Amino acid sequence: MHPNKSDSGDPMRSPFGSRLVFRFLARLAGDRRGVSAIAFAISFAVLTPMALGVFDVYMSGEQRGKLQDALDAAALYAAKSDATDTPGVNAIGTKALGANLQLIHGATLNSSSFTLVPSNGDTKVVATAQVTLPAYAPMEFTHTPVAVNSEVTRPGNNLEVSLVLDNTGSMAGAPMTQLQSAANQLIDLVVSDTQTPYYSKIAIVPYSNSVNAGVYATAARGTPVAAQSPLQAACVDQVGCTQIKFTSITGVNRTFNNSTCVSERTGLNAFTDAGPAGAPVGWVYPPPTSQGNNCITATIQPLSSDKTALHATIGALTANGSTAGALGVEWGWYMISPNWASLFPAASQPAAYGGAHLIKAMILMTDGAFNTTYCKGVISGVTSSTDGTSGSQAYHSSCGSPNGDAFTQAQTLCSAMKAAPDNVVIYTVGFLHGGADPQAQAILANCATDASHVYFPTTGASLTAAFQQIAADLNKLRISH
C-alpha cells in the first residue's frame, strides 16, 4: 500500500462509510413498519380463510336451526292432515315446509320428503330436508349441505261406518242417480286403499218401507214355518209362518206371504242393540207386488273395505215404497254393533265398543219424514199424523205400532246410539230435493250428534258436497291428533 494513499476510496472501509452502514442498520432495526406489513400480510393470508370458515360454520348453524324448525312444523302439519298415503302426506308437508322455511341469503332448498312409515301399530311421518349454503371460505374447506330430519308419530283410528240410505219411491229418477254418485264418492274417500295399521270399513243399509236382510234374515228374525191351508190359528195375526192372515184397517181379512225383509222388534230390547239370538227382529209380510210397498230389493251390505262390493251395492239401489226411517236407524246401529258380530262373516264383524283406536259412525240420509211402522209383520195402522198414511190402508193392519210412531222410535234409537258406551257419531243428511220438509228436518236435527253433523242439501251437487264434507270429517276422526 502506498504510504500516502488512504482508504477513503472504499466507502465501506472508510470511517464515514462505516458510520453510514451502522446508522442505516440502526435505523432499520428501530423501524418496525416493514416488519408489521410483512407480518400483517402473512397473518391475513392465514387468518382470513379461517375467519371465513368460521363464518361459514356460523351461517350453517343458523340455517340448520331455521330448517329444523320449519321441518318440524311441516311434519306435524302433515301428520295432522287427513292424507292417508305417502303421496298425499308428501304434498301437504312440502307445501307447509315452503311456507315456513326461512333461507339465509344465497341458500337454496335442495330436497325434502315426507313419508308414512308403520311404527309399532301406529304410523310415523318421517321427514327430511337439505339446504345448500353459499360458500365464503376457499374451496379447500369442506362445504357440506345442511341436512335435518324429523319424525312425528301419528296415532290413528280404525273406522266403522254404517251408511243408511233412503230408497223410497220419492227418490225415483234423478234423486236416486244423484244419491248413487254421491255415495260412491264417499266410499272412495273414506275407505282407504291401505288397511294397515288401521282399517276403514263401510256397511250399507238401504231402506224404504222395510230393510231387506237378505241371507241374514233367518238368523235375524227366525226360520219361517210352513203355513197350513187353510191357515191355522198360529198363522193368524201371529208372525213366524210363511204366510200370515190379518184384518186390514178397512175390515177386510187378507193373507200375505213372508219375505226376507224385516221390521222393528218389540219388547225389552226394542231400542237396544242386543244381539238377535235372544231378541229377534220383526218379520215383514208385504202387500202383493201390484199394490206397492213391496219388500225392498236392495239388501244390506255388512262392513267391508272391498270398494268393488260396496259400489255394487250402491249400483243396485232402486226407489220404491214408503219411509220406515226408524228401521234404517235400527239396522244402521246393528251393522256396527259388536253384539251383532256373530251374524256376519269374520271380515265384516264389528269390533267391541270402547276399543283403543276405534271410531264408530252412522250416516243417515232421507228425503222426507218417516211414515211407516209395523204391527205383527204388517204395515201398521195410523199411529201418528204420518204413520200408516203411505199406500192404501186396505193393505195396512188394523193394529197400531206397539213401539210408537216412527219419529219417536228413531229418536229413541239415536239417543241410545250416541250414549256411552257405544258413543256412535251420527251424521244426518236431509236431501230436500222436493223442498223443505219440517218433519224430516226435525227428525234429522234431533238424531245427529250435534248441529255441525246435520246437512240439508237441495240439489245433486250440494248432496255430493255434503257427503264430501262428511268424508273429510271422518278422515279427521280417523287420524287423531
- pLDDT at site 81: 83
Q: d(Cα 163, Cα 277) in Å, to the nearest integer? A: 24
267: region left, alpha or beta (phi > 0 left; psi from -120 to 50 alpha): left
Q: Is 466 exposed, middle or buried (0-12, 13-18, 19+ CB in 10 A)?
A: buried
Q: d(Cα 285, Cα 395) in Å, to the nearest integer? A: 11
What is the number of structural domains in the chain?
2
What number of helices (H) and strands (E) belong to the chain?
A: 10, 16
Q: Is 263 exposed, middle or buried (0-12, 13-18, 19+ CB in 10 A)?
A: buried
Element housing 426 (H / E): strand 425-430
Element housing 411 (H / E): helix 406-418
Same domain for 194 and 262, yes or no, is yes
Q: What is the pLDDT along the chain (481 residues), one digit of tens a residue?
A: 444 444 444 444 444 444 544 454 455 445 555 555 555 455 544 455 555 445 556 667 788 889 999 999 999 899 888 787 899 999 999 999 999 999 988 889 999 999 988 877 678 899 999 998 876 544 545 568 889 999 988 878 899 999 999 999 999 999 999 999 999 999 999 998 888 888 999 999 999 999 999 999 999 999 999 998 888 899 999 999 999 999 998 899 999 999 999 999 999 999 999 999 999 999 999 998 888 899 999 999 999 999 999 999 999 999 999 999 999 999 999 999 999 999 999 999 999 999 888 999 999 999 999 999 999 999 998 766 566 667 778 899 999 899 999 999 999 999 999 999 999 999 999 999 999 999 899 999 999 999 999 999 999 999 999 999 999 999 888 776 4
Looking up residue 263, the CATH number of its domain turns out to be 3.40.50.410
* Cell numbers given for 93: 308437508
CB atoms within 10 A of CB 53: 18
Q: d(Cα 363, Cα 377) in Å, to the nearest integer? A: 26
Residue 98 lies in a domain: yes
Same domain for 218 and 127, yes or no, is no
Residue 23 lies in a domain: no
Query: Which one of 154, 181, 204 terminates a domain?
Result: 154
pTM metric for this prediction: 0.77
Same domain for 150 and 162, yes or no, is no
Query: Which one of 154, 177, 207 terminates a domain?
Result: 154
- pLDDT at site 41: 53
Residue 315 lies in a domain: yes
Same domain for 147 and 203, yes or no, is no
Domain of 244?
Answer: 158-478
Residue 244 lies in a domain: yes
Same domain for 254 and 354, yes or no, is yes
Distances (CA, A) of 49 to 73, 107, 145: 36, 20, 19
| Beta-bridge partner residues of 150 | 127
Closest of 240, 242, 286 to residue 392, by C-alpha:
286
CB atoms within 10 A of CB 73: 17
Same domain for 122 and 271, yes or no, is no
- Counted residue by residue, the chain has a size of 481
- pLDDT at site 289: 86
Residue 290 lies in a domain: yes
481 CB contacts (<8 Å, ≥6 apart)? 79, 80
Same domain for 144 and 213, yes or no, is no
Same domain for 43 and 137, yes or no, is yes
Same domain for 96 and 244, yes or no, is no
Residue 127 lies in a domain: yes
| Beta-bridge partner residues of 166 | 207
Q: Name residue, grid cell 363464518.
A: 55
Q: d(Cα 254, Cα 240) in Å, to the nearest integer? A: 16
**CA end-to-end span of the chain:** 111
Same domain for 135 and 63, yes or no, is yes
Residue 227 lies in a domain: yes
Same domain for 81 and 197, yes or no, is no
Residue 58 lies in a domain: yes
Q: Are 396 and 379 a contacting pair, CB within 8 Å?
A: yes
- pLDDT at site 471: 94
- Give how far the C-alpha of residue 232 lies from the chain's centroid of Cα atoms, to the nearest Å: 54
Query: Which one of 124, 154, 184 terminates a domain?
Result: 154
Q: Name residue, grid cell 256397511.
A: 203
Same domain for 213 and 268, yes or no, is yes
